[in-house]
Chains A and B, each alone.
Chain A
Amino acid sequence: MVFFFCRHKIHAMQKLLLFVDRISTWVGQAFSFFIIALTLHVSWEVFSRYALDNPRAWAFDVMIMFYGTLFMMAGAYTLAKNGHVRGDVIYGFFSPRAQAAVDLTLYILFFLPGVIALTYAGYFYAAESWAINEHSNITSEGPPVYPFKTVIPLAGAFVLVQGIVEIIRCIICLKTGTWPSREEDVVEVDVDKLKQELHVKDEDIQKLDQYVVKQERK
């Protein structure tokens, strides 16, 4: 009965975790479209400067804002998909429980102080910018900067929430011995998809073995 209860609780927990994952993913993906906007914006600016001889003063500011917002707001998304770079020397050889123990310790030791500091400091940084109605000083009459500075606490808060989810994942893993699942996402190297694109089937690769074996016999 107790066992059942635990499993039930973990199941409910898992639902909540995936829900937060989905929010982070949705936010990150929504802001990821900024790259298309950025590409078009810069391409148009180049065209406008060379072909129409009509550079726009605020173009640089806008470029920077697209870029900064894009990567900051994708931070939680990347964390949700376990995409932040890890030094994989020994981590990969740990058992899931050991991995969770290391992660949990370091989340509390490094992640929480760092990200809380970022969010907290970012809040006042942005508030100050709002208070003085700050505009970019790269060009005269530059666009307002305060929305851009607001991105810092906002992104920090999303990362913080996602980090708490990751901490709960560590605890679940410590209890059950396996990592709770995540939802899938596009990956950089999707072998199955690449196989499909090149019309390579697994049998074809298996068939190739004869050539390798032939070489070994020689």
Chain B
Amino acid sequence: MKLRKELWFGFSLIALIILPTLLLMPWGHLTNGHLGLMMLSLIVVGIMMGFPTAFTLMGMGVFFAWLAYRSVNPALANRQVLDLFVQRTYGVMSNDVLIAIPLFLFMGYLVERAQLIDKLFKSLHLALARVPGALAVATIVTCAIFATATGIVGAVVTLMGLLAFPAMLKAGYNVKVSAGAITAGGCLGILIPPSVLLIVYGAVAGVSVVQLYAGAFLPGFMLAGLYIGYVIVLAKLRPELMPPLPASERRVELPSYAQALRQYGSNALAGLSRAFTGRAAPGVGKRTVLAQLVVTLSPALFILAILGATYHSATSPEAKTDTAGLIEAGGAIAADASESEQSSGLIGAPEAEEENKPQEVAPPPQAEEKKPAADAQPAGAPAQKVPAPLWFWIVLAIGVATIALIYWLWSWERLEVYKMLLISFFPLAILILMVLGSIVFGLATPSEAAAVGGFGGFLLAAAYRYTAHVRAPADQRAGQGKAILATVKDLGTILKESSFLTAKTSAMVCWLFVGSGIFSAAFALLGGQELIEKWVLSLDMTPVQFMMLAQFIIFILGWPLEWTEIIIIFMPIFLPLLPHFGIDPLFFGLLVALNLQTAFLSPPVAMAAFYLKGVSPPHVTLNQIFAGMMPFMGIQLIALVLLYVFPQIGLWLPQMLYAR
């Protein structure tokens, strides 16, 4: 029988692991520690054979734990193994960290089925039309947001392959660049919180998931920013790879009232206010004008609300900082602004107040969560006001300048694009920011935030499905009642499918934990861990060398194995070594998360590439996709080095928030 190339590769890999194990084992005087090492090499082989990993771990764990107990007291061995196994299993079942996994998965499946990605991509594409490499940038931004909310790499890559790939190809974009942008963007969800990978790492390493999320925030956005920067620079340097969009692709359809109101000037704010105060334009009702005016003014109101909140928190006595003042300042319209501002008062860390930066891309007032004002009323109102510090006036100046700039540029087309963003981009961004904000600022545990996020995802799905039914093409449009009925039917399917998928995926991850529970216990019982520790310490490595070696091993493991297996099975071996080298497990986790990103993009097993290939035209080859992913993999390595050289990128936020 002629073996295929891949089989040769696999078998030689197995031989590479088995042979040294067999040769190096001191067969004459086997100690338990050696058994532990043998078990470790056997598990790698076992996993590579392709049997469901959870059960491989279980079987091996039970057998080796029994061996370990038998060597101490044969009479009790059976009982002890069974007790250990069932207790470990119960430990997984009652783990208060892992509980966030099904909840985040559920939220992801719901958001994925909300059918908002096409709106999201289209509005971002129009909003970014003037940026060099506009479509590629819009693709990465869409991927980053959508992947963050859903965390499902396969679905994001497939969806973008159906949506953005055709758009980019038609616009004359290079196949490789387009493929690279989609695959790299789709994998961002693994790193940017709320990611399931970080929960799993937190559960394994005993690191607080909250701190991991706070830590992964900046590296995640740094990576996305590097991708975007790379695309823009490339588009500038070699425009033939990403030609600028033709005018027809950039044009925004103006509704009739906007065309009528255009006579008042090209600035929408000026036009609207003139139409509102004075002569009514022909065929344009006052209500339309008023509605457009409210939409137009919303960014200004939002920035003002943040400024007001900042002023309040800056001037009120620090000890008594309370949410009430913020809510009063912003009023109901800024309810969700105060939602994120509250935190500065609640966690009681004065440093956090300096964080109120108005210039960050802030969600507009959607007033989704109105808090009853009575609830927020403090018992004792803050008595004395502190004079506003200098930084507040700087922030104020920046805020006012931003408002001025926005309205100077506010043309009719921009108003339309803004409205599109308002219904596609901002709801999702607000959902993510609310979930993350409440976790990071300590308002809710990750599982609570995930549950509320899941509920929010359900509302999003309901809203988008309903509008889709109401705004269906005229020939198949139904009445109000029918639209509601159709939406309810849709939602039933969505809930059912999302529940089933959540159950299957959580069972996959958590049964892996059940298996690894007994497996790692057996490994520890046999003393394999001690042997490895002794060996690693005897190598006398510097922390840098150790870190490089560890990351390299993880990178290599990322080829044949899934990230779940790497973190659940192999992380426990590295983690006890970290204190010896003075490495922060939080920092190590961030590096691992960034490192495993590359595993998704490294051929020949990069899943993202296969998902994209599944929906691309036949002439796009896998090699082209791989070639397109290469520069992005290079960027990931740069990001890894950057994070390693400047650990503050990851540690600054957790340190500031939780005074680590």
Contact = CB atoms under 8 A, between A and B. Distances in A.
Interface in B1-24: 4, 6-7, 9-11, 13-14
Q: Mostly helix, strand, loop or mixed at chain B's interface?
A: helix
Chain A CB count within 10 A is highest, among B59, B115, B174, B564, for: B59
B563 to A, nearest CB: 10
Given A99-B50, A152-B86, A87 B115 contact: no
Given A32-B500, A93-B7, A211 B90 contact: no
Given A64-B96, A114-B518, A194-B155, 11 more contacts: A29-B500, A32-B499, A42-B103, A43-B452, A68-B93, A84-B511, A87-B50, A106-B51, A110-B55, A111-B52, A111-B59
A87 B47 contact: yes
Interface string B88-103: 0110111010110011
Contact of A38 (B102, B174, B452, B509): B102
A79 B56 CA distance: 14
Chain B CB count within 10 A is highest, among A39, A72, A197, A198, for: A39
Interface string A15-42: 0000000000000110111011011111
Interface stretch (B77-85, B138-146, B302-310, B380-388): B77-85
A46 to B, nearest CB: 5
Given A32-B500, A51-B375, A114-B61, A121 B103 contact: no
A46 B453 CA distance: 12
B647 interface: no
Interface string B591-617: 000000000000000000001001111
A32 B495 CA distance: 10
B503 interface: yes
A89 B502 contact: no
A12 interface: no
Interface residues of A, number: 89
Contact of B55 (A93, A115, A122, A148): A115
B508 interface: yes
B99 A64 contact: yes
A75 B454 CA distance: 23
B455 interface: yes
A35 B102 contact: yes
B448 A64 contact: no
A106 B106 contact: no
A80 B46 CA distance: 21
A67 B82 contact: no
A200 B103 contact: no
Interface bracket on B = 35 or more
A106 B46 contact: yes
Contacts of A91: 49-50
B620 A113 contact: no
A151 to B, nearest CB: 7
Interface of A: 28-29, 31-33, 35-36, 38-43, 45-46, 51, 53, 60, 63-64, 67-68, 70-72, 74-75, 77-79, 81, 83-94, 99, 102-103, 106-107, 109-115, 117-118, 120-122, 124-125, 148-149, 151-152, 163, 185-189, 191, 194-195, 197-198, 200, 204-209, 211-213, 215-216
- For the complex of A and B, 3 pairs with smallest distance between CB atoms: A91-B50, A110-B59, A114-B58
A194 B85 contact: no
A63 to B, nearest CB: 6
Interface in B431-453: 444, 447-448, 450-452
Nearest to A112: B59
B159 A42 contact: no
B154 interface: yes
Contacts of B94: 64, 68
Given A111-B59, A152-B93, A186 B372 contact: no
Given A85-B512, A93-B10, A122-B86, A191 B615 contact: yes
A94 B495 CA distance: 37
B500 A120 contact: no
B615 A205 contact: yes
A91 to B, nearest CB: 2
Contact of A83 (B6, B170, B504): B504
A209 B619 CA distance: 6
B159 to A, nearest CB: 6
A26 B306 CA distance: 51
Given A78-B507, A88-B50, A89-B560, A35 B502 contact: yes
Nearest to B3: A93
28 contacts: A28-B504, A28-B507, A32-B503, A33-B499, A35-B499, A38-B102, A42-B447, A43-B452, A43-B454, A46-B448, A46-B451, A53-B375, A60-B96, A67-B102, A83-B507, A84-B511, A85-B564, A87-B47, A89-B50, A90-B14, A106-B49, A114-B515, A125-B87, A205-B616, A206-B617, A208-B170, A208-B617, A215-B175
Contact of A87 (B49, B89, B451, B616): B49
B69 to A, nearest CB: 13
Given A29-B500, A86-B50, A71 B10 contact: no
Contacts of B61: 114
Contacts of A151: 93
B471 to A, nearest CB: 14
Given A84-B53, A93-B10, A109 B508 contact: no
Contacts of A38: 102-103, 451
A110 B98 contact: no
A114 B452 CA distance: 37
B10 A118 contact: no
B324 to A, nearest CB: 14
Contacts of A90: 6-7, 9-11, 14, 48-50
B422 interface: no
A75 B509 CA distance: 10
B66 to A, nearest CB: 9
A70 to B, nearest CB: 6
